[in-house]
Amino acid sequence: MTDKRDYYEVLGVARDAEQADIKRAFRKLARDHHPDVNQHDPEAESRFKELAEAYEVLSSPDSRAAYDRYGFDGLRGRPLTDFEHMPFDDLFSVFFGGGAFGDVLRQAAGGSWGAAGTASEPGDDVAVAVEITLEEAAFGVTRTVSVEAPLVCERCQGSGAAPGTERTPCTQCGGSGRIRRVSSMGGFGQFIQTGTCDACAGRGTVVAEPCDECHGSGRVRGSRDVTVEIPAGIDDGQRLRIGGEGGAPGPGGRAGDLYVLITVQPDPRFVRDGHDLIHSIDLTMVQAALGETVEVPTIDGEPIELKLSPGTQPGDTRVFRGRGVPALRGRGRGALKVVINVVVPRHLDREQRELLERFAQLTSEENYQPEDGFFDRVRAAFRS
Ligand SMILES: [Zn+2]
Ligand SMILES: [Zn+2]
């Protein structure tokens, strides 16, 4: 048995690693050995068994303490799961779900996928939707949102114990949150299984006298206001994660996170393209031909005067750098792009028709010379 690798080395964690780190390392490594990616790989099988064994020992405070002190010798006679002689397929179902057998073995492995050890119940993650204008998306905005999620019970400060009393170590499991049982596994012989302690729900501590406000859960229903800083440059469909602003946890656990889902209202003036804004301008064919000064709206508020020269073509684009949307948590702004659209009239009134016919006649003559005020009349007749 001396050819065994050190359990900490197997899991790739430090000797003083927290339980949470051990669990995380195990879960990550166990996934890497998933049967879907390691079919019929005998090496994967032995590595997985090694992992399972290391995790079982290190995830239990008392077997870990024994291992720390005496190494593998310290585990002799301890009721550990015999992963070595377990069928590989069934072993996988321990960790990756499936069947009653998997359920039992999942417990045997310390409930690695679910309620585990003395890990306290974390708070729920909560999402809220916030709708903002394009200007708010561009320059950032502060919003207060109402978050409907469990709150920390004020009466017991979240401990679940009645004021003046304290949580005490669970006598059923000795504070480990887990208990061991011998059970028959049919064709697989006898197994020692480790399960979540029913007396303390795996927390390792119990309350002698539960708080009458939260009935021992440490949480109460409710909602609260959270102020959210929405950063400049955010885009439609993006989300912000605000750590610890979600639901309150069970006693000793971590609060959940708040996710803020951003919707940006459509703006009739601009189409957003990344950091750029696109504004389109409709010109009459006369304005395009003769030139025109137009006002271009900006997201900053102050419009820009844009002089379009005679002979402006449909699709012509003017670019105003630095007048677009600021980069999210970055520097600089995109551009405002103005795209020209030329509208050809679908219907002409009598005067417009006469003027266009006169224009056609003039341009067909060799040295055409329009009469005084001709183009002023055209301009007036085709006013957009
Ligand atoms: Zn309470
Ligand atoms: Zn217990």
- CATH code (residue 234): 2.60.260.20
Q: What is the pLDDT of residues 186-218, one digit of tens each?
A: 565 666 677 788 888 788 888 889 999 998 888
Please indicate whether residue 190 or residue 237 has the higher confidence score (pLDDT). Answer: 237
Range of the domain at 53: 7-114
Let me know whether 283 and 255 are in one domain. no
Residue 33, Cα to own-chain centre: how many angstroms? 26
| Per-residue pLDDT at 384 exceeds 50 | yes
Record the tokens describing residue 169, joined without a space.
């170590």
Q: What is the pLDDT of residues 74-123, one digit of tens each?
A: 888 776 776 666 655 555 545 544 333 334 334 444 433 333 334 567 88
285 three-class SS: helix
Taken as a whole, the chain contains a residue count of 384
Distance 156 CA to ligand 1 centre (A): 4
Distance 210 CA to ligand 1 centre (A): 7
Record the tokens describing residue 192, joined without a space.
């020692």
What is the spatial distance between Cα 109 and Cα 121, in angstroms, rounded to a whole number?
19
Q: What is the pLDDT of residues 323-360, one digit of tens each?
A: 999 988 778 899 999 999 999 999 999 999 999 998 88
Nearest Cα to 235, choosing from 126, 140, 320? 140
Q: Are 84 and 91 in contact (CB under 8 A)?
A: no
- Residue carrying structure tokens 């045997």: 108
- Among 139-143, 145-149, 169-173, 199-203, the range scoring the smallest mean pLDDT is 199-203
pLDDT tier at 4, thresholds 50, 70, 90: confident
Record the tokens describing residue 237, joined without a space.
């469909």
Let me know whether 56 and 23 are in one domain. yes
Asked if residue 161 belongs to a domain, the reply is no
Asked if residue 139 belongs to a domain, the reply is yes
Tally the domains of the chain. Answer: 3
Give how far Cα 134 sits from Cα of 130, 325, 343, Å. 13, 9, 28
Distance 165 CA to ligand 1 centre (A): 11
Residue 154 main-chain phi, psi, to 5 deg = -75, -30
Widest CA span in the chain: 115
Let me know whether 62 and 143 are in one domain. no
Nearest ligand to the CA atom of 206: 2
What is the spatial distance between Cα 87 and Cα 272, in angstroms, rounded to a whole number?
58
Distance 220 CA to ligand 1 centre (A): 7
The environment of the single-atom ion ligand 1, i.e. residues with CB closer than 5 A, is: 153, 155-156, 211, 213-214
Asked if residue 186 belongs to a domain, the reply is no
Asked if residue 204 belongs to a domain, the reply is no
Nearest ligand to the CA atom of 248: 1
Nearest ligand to the CA atom of 171: 2
